[in-house]
């Protein structure tokens, strides 16, 4: 049993076609091993290819269908701006969220993200980890506000192009960004939030200060954000799709 280049090409094309009927950008990430096999002469089923097979199997079980909703009622909304910094080998990150903006029940919260040292080992050697940290900040934000943004139309402001494009496309040529983009879209599906990812210039990013100065910054508290600290669930980065969806359904 193996996967020759011709079969990989066919499978990759079919998988991309199936993705057009899935929620958000689910189904685009996690297929890089099958894509790479198109240009290889090997037949072996490598661990990365087997992981791609498990992804496809999980998606068929989950059936994350693309939906178009039509109603007169104004949907709930949420806005989140996240940011990260990586200077002199030290990373930092944070985010600010507004849930139900302009409504009596409006909630404003901010979190300084505590980054474990083991995080960089998970991503492997990199010249710079800024894109990974920027995308991790988005994933951590969704993890922290999952229960609050359930059923909302959500806007996510990001000031890093590489991280933003991974979210917009739903995949990335960088394996670490690809994996996190997959988890973000699975999380959005699980909490039933319709995401829109938008670029914001660094100087206009609400969360620039909290990502650099943490709780010492004054902008967030001055603008009525309840600021605290949160951890990164590193385990999410290596869980299968079904496990990720189940976790976010219960957050």
Average pLDDT, the chain: 92
> Comparing 65-69, 202-206, 214-218, which segment has the lowest mean pLDDT?
65-69
120's tokens: 């960089």
Give 93's strand partners: 84, 113
Conformation bin of residue 30: beta by default, left when phi > 0, alpha when psi is -120 to 50: left
- Is 187 in contact with 145 (CB distance < 8 Å)? no
- Residue 63 clears pLDDT 70, i.e. is over it: yes
CA distance linking residue 133 with residue 150, whole number of Å:
24
Helix 175-190 and helix 130-149: axis angle, to 10°? 10
Are 34 and 8 a contacting pair, CB within 8 Å? yes
Q: How many CB atoms lie within 10 A of CB 194?
A: 17
pLDDT tens track for 73-107:
678 999 999 999 998 888 999 999 999 999 999 99
Q: What is the pLDDT of residues 116-131, one digit of tens each?
A: 988 888 888 888 899 9
Residues 6+ positions from 106 with CB-CB distance below 8 Å:
98, 99, 100
Element (H, E) at 185: helix 175-190
| Residue that is written with structure tokens 């902008």 in the block | 219
The pLDDT > 70 percentage for the chain reads: 98
Report helix angle 130-149 to 161-169, nearest 10: 50
> Which two structure tokens, joined as six digits, stand for 31?
């297929």
Helix (H) or strand (E) holding 155: strand 153-158
Which CATH superfamily is 77-250 part of? Ribonuclease H-like superfamily/Ribonuclease H (3.30.420.10)
Write a three-state SS string for 96-152.
Answer: EEEECCCCCCCEEEEEEEECCCCHHHHHCCCCCCHHHHHHHHHHHHHHHHHHHHCCC
Domain boundaries, the chain: 5-62, 77-250
The DSSP symbol for 39 reads: T
Residues 211-232: what's their mean pLDDT? 94
Residue 154's closest CA among 169, 171, 141, 140?
141
pLDDT surpassing 80 at residue 70: no
- The predicted structure's pLDDT at residue 89: 85
DSSP H/E element including 157: strand 153-158
- pLDDT at 65 exceeding the cut of 90: no
pTM for this one?
Answer: 0.92
Assigned token pair, 194: 């319709």
Provide the pLDDT for residue 55: 92
Closest-CA residue to 195 (of 185, 205, 183, 181): 185
Handedness of CA 226, 230, 232, 233 (dihedral sign): negative
Q: Does residue 86 sit in helix, strand or coil?
A: strand
Q: Judge whether residue 177 has pLDDT over 70.
A: yes
For residue 72, what pLDDT is reported? Answer: 58
């Amino acid at each position: 049993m193996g996967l020759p280049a011709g079969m990989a090409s066919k499978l990759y094309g079919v998988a991309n076609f199936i993705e057009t009927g899935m929620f958000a950008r689910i189904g685009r990430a996690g297929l890089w091993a099958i894509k790479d096999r198109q240009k290889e002469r090997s037949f072996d089923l490598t661990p990365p290819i087997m992981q791609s097979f498990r992804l496809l199997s999980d998606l068929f079980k989950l059936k994350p269908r693309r939906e178009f909703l039509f109603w007169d009622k104004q949907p709930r909304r949420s806005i989140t701006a996240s940011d990260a910094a990586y200077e002199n080998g030290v990373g930092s990150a944070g985010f600010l969220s507004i849930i139900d903006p302009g409504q009596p029940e409006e909630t404003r919260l901010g979190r300084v993200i505590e980054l474990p040292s083991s995080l960089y080992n998970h991503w492997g050697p990199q010249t710079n980890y800024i894109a990974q940290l920027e995308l991790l900040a988005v994933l951590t934000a969704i993890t922290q506000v999952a229960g609050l943004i359930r059923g909302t139309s959500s806007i996510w402001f990001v000031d890093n192009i590489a991280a933003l494009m991974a979210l917009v496309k739903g995949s990335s040529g960088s394996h670490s960004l690809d994996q996190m983009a997959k988890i973000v879209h699975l999380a959005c599906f699980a909490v039933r939030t319709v995401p829109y990812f938008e670029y914001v210039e660094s100087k206009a990013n609400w969360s620039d200060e909290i990502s650099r100065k943490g709780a010492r910054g004054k902008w967030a508290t001055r603008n009525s954000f309840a600021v605290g600290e949160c951890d990164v669930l590193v385990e999410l980065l290596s869980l299968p799709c079904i496990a990720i969806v189940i976790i976010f359904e219960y957050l």
